[in-house]
Chain A
Amino acid sequence: MVTVYEKKAVDERKIGLSRRELLKRGGAGALLIISGSAVISPEHAWGLETSALKPETMATLIQVARDIYPHDQVPDKYYAIAVKGHDETAAKDPAHKELIEKGIAELDKRAGKGGYRGLGWEEQRVALLTGIEKTPFFQAVRGGLVVSLYNQKEVWPIFGYEGESYSKGGYIARGFNDIEWL
C-alpha cells in the first residue's frame, strides 16, 4: 500500500538523518529525500511510502510527472499523489513493475552521470522525454496522469476551478454573469 502522509506522520517516523540520501532537484530547488521505502519532502511535510517500486524510482517518477505537466504553482505532493497508483499497480502486476522500473532506468541511463534527476534544466529533461514519447512506458505514465493529476479536488482551486456547485445553490447568485471588463 502506498500512503501519502502529512507532517505529523513524517515526524513520527523519526527518520535517521544519517540514512537520508539527499537528492537534488531541478527547477525550484526543493528536495526530495529517500528514506527506507519512502520519498519524503521535509520542507513541505509529506511523505510517500512505496511498496513495489524502488523509492528512488518513485522520486524520479514524480519529477517526470512534473516535467510532463509542469505547473509551477502546484506543489510536488500532488504529483506524488498522481503517480502513486503506479506503485499500487506494480504491487499487483509484475509486468507493470518492470515497465516502470525499466522505463526510469532507461531515462537515468540516457541522462548519463547523475541520472534524470541530476539534469538541472527542465529543457534537458524534456528532451529526454521527447525521445521516449512513443514508448509504452511514457504512454502509460502520461495517459494515467492526465486524470490522476487534474482530477484531484485539492488542485482545482490552484487553477481557479470551483468544482461542485449544487450544494451552494449554483451560481445564480454567485457570479455566473459577473464579468466586468468587456
Chain B
Amino acid sequence: MTLRDTLALAWGSLAHQPRRTLLIALAMSIGVGAVVVLTALGEGARRYVLEQFASLGTNLLIVLPGRAETSGMAPGVLTGQTTRALTLADADAVMRLRGVARAAPLNVGVARVSRGGLSREVVLLGSTADMLEIRHMRLGQGRYLPPGPSNQATPVCVLGERIRAELFGAGNALGEWVRIGDRRFRVVGILASQGQQMGFNTDETVAIPVAAAQQLFNTESLFRILVEARGRAAVPEVRASVLELLKTRHEGEADVTVITQDAVLATFDRILTALTLAVAGIAAISLGVAGVLIMNVMLVSVAQRRSEIGLLKALGAPAASVRRLFLAEAGLISLLGAAGGLILGLAASFALGRIYPALPIIPPLWAVAAAVATALVAGMLFAWLPARRAAKLDAALALARR
C-alpha cells in the first residue's frame, strides 16, 4: 500500500468520526499551544532583561571600592570607609589603559535644586563628559558636561527632562542659572526623555562635573568608575588590567571590585533560559496527557473496527500495513492538533504582546519546532500499542463475529 493511499484511508476513517477526531486534536492543540505561549512568555522575559542590560552597554565594566568576597553579589554594602577610596586620579589612570575606550568617574548623591521659588530634591550625578556615551544617554538640547580635566569644578549642569519641566515649565532653560546646594550652576544641556533604565530614571537626575560634586558632597572618594572597553572581546583583558593597575596604585592591595556587564548578563541569561525550559517541560506534560487520550481512543477504535481490520487482512493486508494505517491515523490527528496548537499559541502570544507591549513576546523557533515534534512523537508513540494490537488481530476470529 502506498503512503498516499494509507494516509487517504486513515483520513477517511478520521473524517467519518469528526467529533471524536476534533476532540483529540483539541487536547493536542491545548498542549502544543501551552508550550508555545509559555515559552514565548519565558523567552520574552529573557529578551526583555537582556535588552535592558544591553541598553547599558555590554562592554561596560563597573569599578567599585571594596572587595566582594563572593563573586556575583553586588558589593554595594561594602562601600564603607573601611577600604581605600577610589579617587579621581584612579579614574584618570584607568582611562589611559589599553583597551579602554572611555571611562567616567561617578559620584551620586541627593541634593536640592532650586530656581526662583521652585525647588525639589534630585539625584545628583557627578561625572565627566564621557558619561553620556558610556550610559547611552541622549541629549535633548545643548551640550553635556564639558570635556577637559576631571578635577575642574566648572559650575555647569545638565538637567533631566522631568527636572527641566518642573523648574522651567514652558520657558527656556538653556543658559539659565539654578541653585544646587549652596552653589549656582548654569544649565548647559537637557537630556532627552528616556524613561526608566534598569530602575534608574535619567529624567529625574541632574549631572554636574565630578569635581563640583565632590566639593558639594565634601568628599575625595568616588562612588564608581564606569569603564567602557573597546569591544566585547576586550572586556576580560580590561578587567584584569584595571585590577592590576588599581592594586599597584593602592600599595599592592587588591581592594576594588570590577563587575562586568557580561557576567551579570550571562547569569540572567542562564536563569531565564532554565526557567523557560522548565515551563516548556511542564507544558509538554499536557502533550503526554493528550497522548494517553489518543491511546485510549485508539484502543476503543481498534475494538470497534475488528471486523474491518479482519477484512483488510483477508483482502491481503499484511500486519505491517494495518499497523501503518493506525499509526497514520494517530499521526494525522497529531498533525491536526499541532496545527491547531500553533494557531492557538501564536494567537495567545499575539494577544499577550498587545497586553504587555514592553515584553517582546515571540515564541522561539526551537520551542515551536519542539512542540510540534513532541505532539507527533507523543501521538505515534501512544498509538503504537493500539496499532500493534490491530496488526496482531486474528483475522478469522474478527470476521466470524458480526
Q: Do A and B come from one complex?
A: no
Contact surface of B with A, Cβ cutoff 8 Å: none
